[in-house]
A and B are shown apart, each in its own frame.
Chain A
Amino acid sequence: MGESASDVIVLDHVSKRYGDFVAVHDANFSIGSGEFFAMLGPSGCGKTTTLKMIAGFEQPTSGRVLLDGVDVSDVPPYKRNVNTVFQQYALFPHMTVFDNVAFGPRSKKVDESKIKTSVMEMLEIVRLSEFAKRKPSQLSGGQQQRVALARALVNYPSALLLDEPLAALDLKLREAMQIELKRIQREVGISFIFVTHDQGEALTMSDRIAVMSQGHVEQIGTPQEIYRSPASLFVAGFIGSANLLPGTVKSHEGNDVVVALKSGSTIRVAGQAQAHSVGAPVSVMLRPERLRPSNQADGTGQSLQGTLTDLVFQGATARMIVRLSDGTELTCLADSSARMPQMQVGTSMNVSWDVDGGYVLAGWPDKAGSTSTDVDHIESTL
């Protein structure tokens, strides 16, 4: 991995083991200055351990953590120029909002007069100026969250670490705070590294995402890269919802791959011929929103036939479950306005998509079909 001068944090082949259990295996990536970086994965994937190693609460078993180019692997947290926003905020309950925010500068023995200006400035940025004299218990969850942010940011750290920062908030507030966090990050220009198990949160806020699973970093990339070209079946199923159809590569047609599905149909996927040799076991990923369900065959691109088993109106979109002849279920996400009235549960359906709408991944999934209708799958990602 290339290290550039603007990298704030570099993880150099970092591993963490607890006895026989490998919490983090060979994490090797760097985070740039001013970047909004997400570590995403199901619980127990090692993302929080990685964050703690950056913060200094855990020491790596092997490898190095570099902060601003300096090896800090053995430096205790209070001597590292990074700050953490804890999951439950960990605000000091016996102190006012002002004293909470002033805690860091006071530890560093900054002038009390300077502390006052910088604390009030930071409270201004998080829009809590008028709450300076309150105790944390007198604030709402979202306000406490912003106090925690201000308390960390007032130290102008090299990087801010956020451990599931929005997990304790309810849905509406979480969405508003995502935008607020992004705004604050732009305003202060500090790198944010945040840990989440919520893929929507990661996609909304991050410049880059590291997807982790069972201690391994599965893929690092921009939200678009990760969504469009996942590196593995795990990433495909974890980010957004996906329909995964197992099969084998039958042939190459130019740059395209022809896949013989286990269900018997044959479909073509654009590009990727170099990546998958003939005869290899592969899965074709179809994103629900790329699928076009209809009553008649529209004759364009690729298609599969099945029966409509469920139709859920969701406002702007409608979610349809189409069962193929071999029992595999596909989830389709369609514009709810147009042809919905004619569609009845039980009618036969033609599901089509453009040849560049599919994506081929190596290996077979545990269960063919839609990841978004599989309760076990969803639970395992939470």
Chain B
Amino acid sequence: MTETVERNNRIARNADRVGLGAMILASICLVALGAHWVSGPMVSVIVLVLVAVIVGVLVLAYTGGPEARRLLAPYGLLKPGMLWLALFFLAPVWSLLRISLSTKESRFSVNYNFSWAFENYTKAFSDFGKQFEHAFVYAAIATVLTILIGYPLAYVIAFRGGKYKNILLGLVVVPFFTSYLIRTIAWSTILADRGIVVRALNAVGLERLFEWMHIMDNGKLLNTPAAVIGGLTYNFLPFMLLPIYVSLEKIDTNLVNAAGDLYSSASRAFRKVVLPLSIPGVFAGTLLTFIPAAGDFVNAQFLGNPNTSMIGNSIQDQFLKQNNYPVASAMAAVLMVSIATLVLLYTRIFGTEDLA
């Protein structure tokens, strides 16, 4: 009797370790299920283990007293997210990496044989190098454009918006209540060869200038790289604007007054005070814009031409049309790793301690 109590106390005191262990075990179970590590009767065994782990932790929380519950609480709060990620992120990534190293017997076969087939990666690079380049160059240009457009807009709303602040922010966000696809298709109408923009440019005679700037191509605005970049810029603008707005909004206007009081002109006050304090917003906005833009395929599909395809288009094509899962997976893996590397580098160079 006393031994049982003693043992229970020990478990309760170490409830945090129990919680961590249970979370890891449950995650492994979910990845095993999601990534098809097991088959047949083993599936039921894994499911049983999963249920037992969760029930066990709940029992410990219920019987272990307040101390055990306090120790378990963080893991209890982490668990839903962790398990979600295990099932819907870790398991698919595992499958993706596995398929990227597999081969198929024929194009129409549904079975993959895992065979360390690195030629999928060679193929991804050799056949789709251009698309990778487009993805990163277009996304980078679009990101810079969203900063150039978004920063002044956010600045005006944050510092000069007054009582109209919320209305102005609303106006920025409202178009995004419409579907992403619809908005992009709408742009293809706007930029069409006989659409309003091209006709206006022709009427004013600006098409020469636009041709010279490589924005227009043989009198066309639609189906050019510029249209794809424009679409990306338009679609990701709020993801740049909102974080910048938040960081500008937080700046105490007295800091600007103080800079003025200390003999700084308005432009020096901006450079030395406002800009450095809003950099975390620009940083966050850049990540929120560049990452999805690099993987985007909608804009290139509706606003571009076959020569402006981005890697997202190729991945979609290989997966859904060519049914070539191994090469598609290899491309997706390369995209993921390159973006992760770029983001890490970017964080190292420009990252601020506020974000770390």
B85 CB–A CB distance under 8 Å: no
CB-based contact A90/B258 at 8 Å: yes
B273 CB–A CB distance under 8 Å: yes
B254 CB–A CB distance under 8 Å: yes
CB-based contact B260/A77 at 8 Å: yes
CB-based contact B277/A90 at 8 Å: no
**Please, how many angstroms separate the alpha-carbon atoms of A55 and B277 in the complex?**
25
Min distance, Cβ A153 to any Cβ of chain B, angstroms:
11
CB-based contact B261/A78 at 8 Å: yes
CB-based contact A92/B261 at 8 Å: no
With contact pairs A107-B263, A107-B268 given, residues A77 and B255 touching in the complex (Cβ less than 8 Å): no
Q: Which of A74-106 contact B (CB under 8 A)?
A: 76-79, 82-84, 86-88, 90-94, 103-104
- For B261, list chain A residues within 8 Å (CB): 55, 77-78, 82-84, 152
A57 CB–B CB distance under 8 Å: yes
With contact pairs A92-B273, A94-B276, A94-B277 given, residues A86 and B254 touching in the complex (Cβ less than 8 Å): yes
With contact pairs A103-B272, A107-B268 given, residues A92 and B255 touching in the complex (Cβ less than 8 Å): yes
CB-based contact B260/A103 at 8 Å: no
CB-based contact A103/B276 at 8 Å: no
Q: Which of A149-187 contact B (CB under 8 A)?
A: 151-152, 155
**Please, how many angstroms separate the alpha-carbon atoms of A86 and B260 in the complex?**
12
**Please, how many angstroms separate the alpha-carbon atoms of A78 and B252 in the complex?**
18
Nearest chain B residue, comparing its CB with the CB of A80: B261
- For B264, list chain A residues within 8 Å (CB): 78, 103, 107
A108 CB–B CB distance under 8 Å: yes
Nearest chain A residue, comparing its CB with the CB of B262: A104
- For A90, list chain B residues within 8 Å (CB): 252, 254-255, 257-258
- For A55, list chain B residues within 8 Å (CB): 261
**Please, how many angstroms separate the alpha-carbon atoms of A84 and B260 in the complex?**
10
- For B262, list chain A residues within 8 Å (CB): 78, 83, 103-104, 107, 151-152, 155
Min distance, Cβ B314 to any Cβ of chain A, angstroms:
43
- For B341, list chain A residues within 8 Å (CB): none
Min distance, Cβ A68 to any Cβ of chain B, angstroms:
16
B265 CB–A CB distance under 8 Å: yes
**Please, how many angstroms separate the alpha-carbon atoms of A94 and B251 in the complex?**
11
CB-based contact B259/A88 at 8 Å: no
Q: Which of B232-288 contact A (CB under 8 A)?
A: 252, 254-255, 257-265, 268, 272-273, 276-277
Interface size class of B (residues with CB under 8 A): 10 to 19
**Please, how many angstroms separate the alpha-carbon atoms of A65 and B277 in the complex?**
34
**Please, how many angstroms separate the alpha-carbon atoms of A92 and B264 in the complex?**
13
**Please, how many angstroms separate the alpha-carbon atoms of A15 and B262 in the complex?**
26
Most chain A CB inside 10 Å of its own CB: which residue of B258, B264, B273, B277: B258
- For A151, list chain B residues within 8 Å (CB): 262
Nearest chain B residue, comparing its CB with the CB of A82: B261
**Please, how many angstroms separate the alpha-carbon atoms of A78 and B256 in the complex?**
11
Binary interface encoding of chain B residues 291-322 relative to chain A, with 1 for a CB under 8 A from any of its CBs, else 0:
00000000000000000000000000000000
**Please, how many angstroms separate the alpha-carbon atoms of A78 and B262 in the complex?**
6
CB-based contact B257/A78 at 8 Å: no
Nearest chain B residue, comparing its CB with the CB of A84: B261
**Please, how many angstroms separate the alpha-carbon atoms of A152 and B259 in the complex?**
11
CB-based contact A57/B257 at 8 Å: yes
- For A155, list chain B residues within 8 Å (CB): 262-263
Find A88's partner among B254, B268, B277 (CB 8 Å cutoff).
B254
Min distance, Cβ B262 to any Cβ of chain A, angstroms:
4
Q: Which of B138-158 contact A (CB under 8 A)?
A: none
CB-based contact A86/B257 at 8 Å: yes
Nearest chain A residue, comparing its CB with the CB of B269: A78
Q: Which of A284-338 contact B (CB under 8 A)?
A: none
**Please, how many angstroms separate the alpha-carbon atoms of A324 and B273 in the complex?**
61
**Please, how many angstroms separate the alpha-carbon atoms of A175 and B261 in the complex?**
27
Nearest chain B residue, comparing its CB with the CB of A87: B254
- For A108, list chain B residues within 8 Å (CB): 263
- For A91, list chain B residues within 8 Å (CB): 258
With contact pairs A94-B276, A103-B272 given, residues A88 and B263 touching in the complex (Cβ less than 8 Å): no
CB-based contact B252/A103 at 8 Å: no
**Please, how many angstroms separate the alpha-carbon atoms of A76 and B262 in the complex?**
11
**Please, how many angstroms separate the alpha-carbon atoms of A104 and B268 in the complex?**
11
- For B257, list chain A residues within 8 Å (CB): 57, 77, 84, 86, 90
Min distance, Cβ B189 to any Cβ of chain A, angstroms:
46
Find B259's partner among A57, A79, A94, A103 (CB 8 Å cutoff).
A103
- For B260, list chain A residues within 8 Å (CB): 57, 76-78
**Please, how many angstroms separate the alpha-carbon atoms of A86 and B268 in the complex?**
20
**Please, how many angstroms separate the alpha-carbon atoms of A84 and B252 in the complex?**
16
**Please, how many angstroms separate the alpha-carbon atoms of A267 and B188 in the complex?**
94
**Please, how many angstroms separate the alpha-carbon atoms of A103 and B255 in the complex?**
12
CB-based contact A93/B263 at 8 Å: no
- For B258, list chain A residues within 8 Å (CB): 84, 86, 90-92
Min distance, Cβ A101 to any Cβ of chain B, angstroms:
10
- For A78, list chain B residues within 8 Å (CB): 260-265
**26 residue pairs bridging A and B, Cβ less than 8 Å apart:** A57-B257, A78-B260, A78-B261, A84-B258, A86-B254, A86-B257, A87-B254, A88-B252, A88-B254, A90-B254, A91-B258, A92-B258, A93-B277, A94-B276, A94-B277, A103-B262, A103-B264, A104-B262, A104-B263, A107-B259, A107-B262, A108-B263, A151-B262, A152-B262, A155-B262, A155-B263
Q: Contacts A92-B259, A94-B277 given; 10 further ones with Cβ under 8 A?
A: A78-B260, A78-B265, A84-B257, A86-B258, A91-B258, A93-B277, A104-B263, A107-B259, A107-B262, A152-B262
Nearest 8 pairs of A and B residues by beta carbon:
A104-B262, A107-B263, A90-B254, A90-B258, A107-B264, A77-B260, A78-B260, A84-B261
Task: Name B's A-contacting residues (CB within 8 A).
Answer: 252, 254-255, 257-265, 268, 272-273, 276-277
